[in-house]
Structure 1
Amino acid sequence: MQFRRIAISLAVLCGVVLTPATAPAAADRVVTTEYGMALIGLIIGKATFDTKIDGNSFSVKGRMSSAGLGQLVSKTGGTSQVSGRVTSRGFAPERYGLDYTSDGKRWSSDVSFRSGRVTGSNVSPKRSADEKPSYVPVQRSQLASVVDPLSGMMVRTSDPASVCRRTLPLYDGWSRLDLKLSPKARRTVSLSGYDGDAVVCNVRIDPVSGYDKKSKGLRFLKNQTIELWFAPIARPDVFVPVYVRIPTTIGPLTLQATSVSVK
């Protein structure tokens, strides 16, 4: 039960575990990136993301499922996807969706964007009309100049030094939060299909709305520093996550890219 709560809360609240994606080297080509998820070094899940850029449009489709020890503890699986436009500044989402189940319970989200503003949102389960006093509701004014958790993690820049000098304003249909990045180091990474440099960022979570102030998990994460590695694994001007290390109360949760291929 604890493994399931950790995986789901990080996927939905932090937008990190399910978000890594990449971008293809040429139009009409699909880049497939595979990731492994581990908790205190033990495999608990896997994820695959397919990304396509076709002219001025893009799409990302992801699949995630429990694996290894995770299958023994909790049956979890789902999909996430986004589509939108490619602009000179990066990737502008138009439609984002998340749909997953865990131990027979289902969560789904469908969010529409236009010019960085949320124009529609449909989630299940919905927030109750009679929330706890400790719940911080999402305000309409907080849904301008935001991105979804998938395209928001695709950083388009020709300057590696700028990757970690930004704040990512994320909204997934339930929660609005900022991921505040700051530079930490440079590393080299090696996986099937890519050997090269990576930019390492420190990340702090700043919840804005759509959360319970008394949530023990969120209070713990607010006081922690996440380590996030970005690398241009498919094209030199698009940096995507290749490694994430998130502290938890029982040990580090990691998500690591294992292979990338272009078709």
Structure 2
Amino acid sequence: MTFRRIAITLAAFCGVALAPVPAPAAEQVVTTEYGMALIGLIIGKATFDTVIDDGRFSVKGRMSSAGLGQLVSKTGGTSQVSGRVTSRGFASERYGLDYTSDGKRWTSDVRLRSGRVIDSSVSPKRSSKEKPSYVPVQRAQLSSVVDPLSGLMIRTNDAGSVCRRTLPLYDGWSRLDLKLSPKARQTVSLAGYEGEAVICNVRIEPVSGYDRKSKGLQFLRSQTIELWFAPIARPDVFVPVYVRIPTTIGPLTLQATSVSVK
């Protein structure tokens, strides 16, 4: 697990999660944009297109470095997910990530059924044979997980319950828990939406698929991430609109800037 991949994963959360839950048999295309900044300087951008049609959904996203980020680290790629819309939310069936950073390529292809991973392939692969400090993923840890794109779309009629949960995340390489707890409420405004957001404190707890000696992960485990949820499209679907991640040189922020529905 790398600190950079965790940041990209959280960026993906913000981009896709602005998709609404549709009425039956009604297709909607949601285009969302957001910016990534480090200590206030723009370093990345992303666009996500979500299509929802008759109980099915699919999302395709494009991410790239921008501004100062283009000078420091050339990063870009795509992510996608597809699955079913259920009464409880979004049930993914296939998740994928393909991105390149500083000339190194990472790819992930995960297939799921009812929250259980049935197949997974990644490149590059990691193992304890390569590095003794690596903690391998066990199959028993993949029986109830969420993917990085649809995992943070929380369906509830109780805003107070949004931050009272633990989310079991799996991206093909790593299993980690995002432990949410309530913090505050705040009004947010972006192109296409204005309203109240629920603010959660988030702690990262690695389960498997990580290097025990990773200094970046050790730092992140000791920090608290701030994650804002808002009911963008329906009052019972709360989705991320802002993330603040501490880093050793200053805060990394991921912020939704616009949402449009067609």
State the Cα distance separating 1:9 from its structure 2 match. 4.4
The equivalent residue for 1:175 is 174
Distance 1:128 1:178 in 2: 20
The equivalent residue for 1:17 is 11
CA offset digits 1:152-177 (Å, max 9, x no partner)? 01111122111111111010000000
Counterpart amino acid of residue 48 in structure 2 = F
State the Cα distance separating 1:8 from its structure 2 match. 3.4
Q: Is the 8 A contact 2:19 2:233 kept in 1?
A: yes
Distance 2:57 2:157 in 1: 19
The equivalent residue for 1:34 is 33
Distance change in 2, residues 1:127/1:187 (3 Å)? same
State the Cα distance separating 1:63 from its structure 2 match. 1.1
Identity %: 81
State the Cα distance separating 1:128 from its structure 2 match. 4.1
The equivalent residue for 1:202 is 201
The equivalent residue for 2:242 is 243
- Once the two structures are superposed, the pairs formed by residues 79-90 of structure 1 within 5 Å of their partners are 79-90=78-89
- SS of alignment partner, residue 201 of structure 2: strand
- Once the two structures are superposed, the pairs formed by residues 123-138 of structure 1 within 5 Å of their partners are 123-128=122-127, 130-138=129-137
- Once the two structures are superposed, the pairs formed by residues 47-126 of structure 1 within 5 Å of their partners are 47-126=46-125
Counterpart amino acid of residue 24 in structure 1 = P
- SS of alignment partner, residue 36 of structure 2: strand
- SS of alignment partner, residue 11 of structure 2: coil
The equivalent residue for 1:232 is 231
RMSD over aligned Cα atoms: 1.4
Q: Is the 8 A contact 1:7 1:17 kept in 2?
A: no
Q: TM-score when scaled to structure 1?
A: 0.94
Counterpart amino acid of residue 23 in structure 1 = A
Distance 2:176 2:164 in 1: 17
The equivalent residue for 1:8 is 5
- SS of alignment partner, residue 133 of structure 1: coil
Q: Is the 8 A contact 2:92 2:150 kept in 1?
A: yes
The equivalent residue for 1:216 is 215
State the Cα distance separating 1:246 from its structure 2 match. 0.3
Runs of 4+ in 1 over 4 A off after TM superposition: none
- SS of alignment partner, residue 153 of structure 1: coil
Distance 1:244 1:256 in 2: 7
- SS of alignment partner, residue 224 of structure 1: coil
Stretches of structure 1 that go unaligned for 5 or more consecutive residues are: none
Counterpart amino acid of residue 170 in structure 2 = Y
CA offset digits 1:51-73 (Å, max 9, x no partner)? 22212211121111000000111
